[in-house]
Amino acid sequence: MGPRARKTWLALHVISSVGWLGATLANLALASAAFGAPQLYRAMALLGDLVVLPLALTALTTGVVLSLGTRWGLVKHRWVLVKFALTVVAVAATAFSLRPELHAAASGVAGAGRGVLAASCVSLSIYVFSTVVSVFKPWGRTRWA
């Protein structure tokens, strides 16, 4: 991958990752307030559908493209492999757990939405950890390097 293409993909990756982190912070704030105002779950469901999931998929896609198109590789360094695994888990949890829970809570299903605050905290922890791993690049190379 040439320098211009790498920088373009990197910019897209950073923008989508930071956006995903910001949208998660917004969901965390809304989840904290939703205990007294259940209508906020509608806003969270909308945010999940139109912002969080597209940003998550973009971050995953651009991360894979960058890993395959640069010297880091997808399986050459442990930090890349850990970030990839965490991102896949976070995208799957967003798509198949968080969004359905938000839609159920927005529809007024009794008991729905209880895990949303915890899910937002876990998501935020994953994204912060992934960011730190990206900066420090720990753990060395894998046996496939």
In the predicted model, residues of the chain with pLDDT beneath 50 are none
pTM: 0.91
The answer to whether residue 96 is domain-embedded is yes
The answer to whether residue 142 is domain-embedded is no
The answer to whether residue 51 is domain-embedded is yes
* pLDDT (0 to 100) of residue 61: 98
The answer to whether residue 145 is domain-embedded is no
Check if the beta carbon of residue 127 is closer than 8 Å to that of residue 90. Answer: yes
**Dist CA 51 CA 16 (whole Å):** 10
Number of domains in the chain: 1
The answer to whether residue 143 is domain-embedded is no
* pLDDT (0 to 100) of residue 4: 97
Other Cβ atoms closer than 10 A to 47: 17
Check if the beta carbon of residue 69 is closer than 8 Å to that of residue 6. Answer: yes
Domain range for residue 54? Answer: 3-136
* pLDDT (0 to 100) of residue 37: 78
Check if the beta carbon of residue 44 is closer than 8 Å to that of residue 31. Answer: yes
Quickly list H helices, 2-145.
3-33, 40-47, 53-69, 78-93, 99-106, 116-136
The answer to whether residue 60 is domain-embedded is yes
* pLDDT (0 to 100) of residue 91: 96
The answer to whether residue 13 is domain-embedded is yes
